[in-house]
Amino acid sequence: MCGIVAVYSPSAPIPPGVVEKATKSLYHRGPDGQRHWIAADRSVALGHARLSIIDLATGDQPIANEDESLRIIVNGEFYGYEPIQRELEQAGHRLRTRSDSEIALHLYEDLGAHCVHRLRGEFAIVLWDSTNRTVFAVRDRFGIKPLFYALHEGRLYFASEVKALFAAGVPARWNGESVYHSLEFGGHQSRTLFEGVFQVPPGHYMVATEKRFQLQKYWDLDYPEEKEAAPTRSDSEYAEEFRHAFDEAVRIRLRADVPVGCYLSGGIDSCAILGLAARHHPDPIRAFTLSFDRPEYDESQVAKEMAAKAGAQFFPIPIRQDDIADHFADAIQQAETLCVNAHGVAKFLLSRAVRQAGYKVVLTGEGSDEMLGGYLHFRRDMRVCNGKGQEPEDAGSLPYKSQNVGPRFSTSLPANGYGRSLEGIGRLLGFVPGWIDTSSSQSIKMHAVLAQDFLEAFKGQEGFRSFFNDIDVQGQLAGRHPLNQSLYLWTKTRLPNYLLTLLGDRMEMAHSIEGRVPFLDHHLVELIRSLPVTQKIRGATQKYILRESARDVITETVYRRPKHAFLSPPAALNPQGRLSLLMQDTLRGPTLASLPFFDQKKVVNILDSLSTTDEGSAVANDQVLMILLSACVLQDRFRPSV
């Protein structure tokens, strides 16, 4: 993994030092070397900050093809690249390196933009085609790797992180509409919190010339319609097929020229990965586990038991709430987004410890819940059809029983009158996905601290409407099972914008750690999408097929254990701790007062009440206060104007 920067300026020369300054801002993503290339006419510049994983000796970038008509920069990893290297050489290509990145260069040379269909992995790419005067930029299918862009003063900028765009000269400005929509339902496929800064959506590429630039979708989930009759197969046949694909996804991600470790929690996702990885690794794998100082949030004992079963080296990393307070601002600066819990800061500290232990690569469990219905709200979506496809007797033979599922959806408005009825979504889809209902309920708390004029500016707007305008409802949702519809929408929003950012790439790359995500191997996902929904959720059992297919490599404790969301202990649980004091001081201070989105008096009322309310009520406010605190950090660190 690396950091990439590109500038395309067809009408005026790129000023000296622009790409160098932007690349330098990404040093944390690539401390092993920084290189730049700029065209003779200064119309194109490419920058690369390298984290060397494959081909440590000759893999520097940008890489040029044989006649130097093409140049490429890559952030990411391609799996199964060796056979493609041999294929390219047999076709007459002369490879300059033995790195996986170079295959994309020559595949483009042969196939143009369609080369992306040959690439397997997590990646963001920018390529300059001098013959056709074209910039080609592409992001992986799920948005595991970030790729931002901005058009400013006639120049098109690309970068792995927003801070690099700012360093290159793109102005830092808040986008009030994006902030509002982020607070309401968690964001958008292509927008960011910042005016004029966008992201290439997952599964898309961009082609830019002097006259225009265009985004094109190259991959989507394509869940089958319910009317498509799937062949009847046994649970054991489904489990065997899943196990084979999952095992391959893990195995190919162990390929590296540096040591590979695993992140390990007490959940089935990371435990299953470790269990399979241990079977392919010649030596005991190092398993890195966060340990919190509150027992109800600590999974280290379950993880330790799993490490012992896999023969792994258990490496616990204790995290105190004071540690989170000390590193909160640095983590949010890396994330460049709002957080609802300090769990991202915990991952920031985890990746720091992994790097200090001498590792650059880890396998992680993100994506399993999104593909296999691991969150509680997905069970609501199964109930939309009254459990169609479920057998009543299943509930009596479950490895565990979950809590009751809430109502299907609500259409109530908050007391301030600025909430949004969800009836429009119900009319569009025929139901309201559980996670959207939950988001709507949670947004009521945020509305209670928003400034009146900010609320008025968006009165009558429906944040979900702008989101659904970019969704192919007829092509990707119509006729699909409600669970698959809900999974699709979650995968387009919360997965890339929050989970793969605040709990993935940005916290890992803050300390030059490459996270590899087997559950988001697109070959595995294309198998999962074809499964009956009852292989994902069976009665009260979520991720059913994963539990059954991995049962021999996980502990019985993990097999029977229900889903536990990865959360850091809320600040309210330690009112005298440094995190609570940081929150109190910051939210009463001048930074929050300078943000026009929030009413500081309303916020102070909440802060004043924390000492007299019960613990449950105080914890309930933690999400709102974390969002506000992270907004203050972004304001302090980037100084965006409004």
In the structure, what pLDDT confidence band is assigned to residue 401 with cuts at 50, 70 and 90?
very low
Radius of gyration, alpha carbons of the chain? 24
Enumerate helices (H) and strands (E) in the chain, giving the number of each.
28, 19
Asked if pLDDT for residue 378 goes beyond 70, the answer is: yes
134-192 per-position pLDDT tens digit: 999 999 999 999 999 999 999 999 999 999 999 999 999 999 999 998 887 777 889 99
Exposure string of 589-624, with b = 16+ CB inside 10 Å and e = fewer, is eebbeebebbbbeebeebbeebeeeeeeebbebbbb
Mean pLDDT across the chain, nearest whole number? 91
Q: Sorting pLDDT into bands at 50, 70 and 90, what band is 409?
A: very low
Q: 617 pLDDT band (50/70/90 cuts)?
A: confident
Share of the chain above pLDDT 70, in %: 93
| Residue-wise pLDDT tens digits, 588-615 | 999 999 999 999 999 999 999 998 888 8
pLDDT band of 399, cuts 50, 70, 90: very low
The residue whose two tokens read 């793109």 is 170
Widest pairwise Cα distance in the chain: 75
DSSP three-state, residue 66 = coil
Q: For 202-232, how does the pLDDT look when each residue is reduced to its tens digit (9 = 90+)?
A: 999 999 999 899 999 999 999 999 887 666 7
pLDDT at position 386, please?
Answer: 56
CA distances from 506 to 29, 142, 155, 510 (A): 9, 15, 26, 6
- Quick one: pLDDT at residue 45? 97
- Please, which residues have CB within 8 angstroms of residue 276's CB and are 6 or more apart in sequence? 246, 247, 250, 251, 550, 553
Q: Which pTM does this prediction carry?
A: 0.93
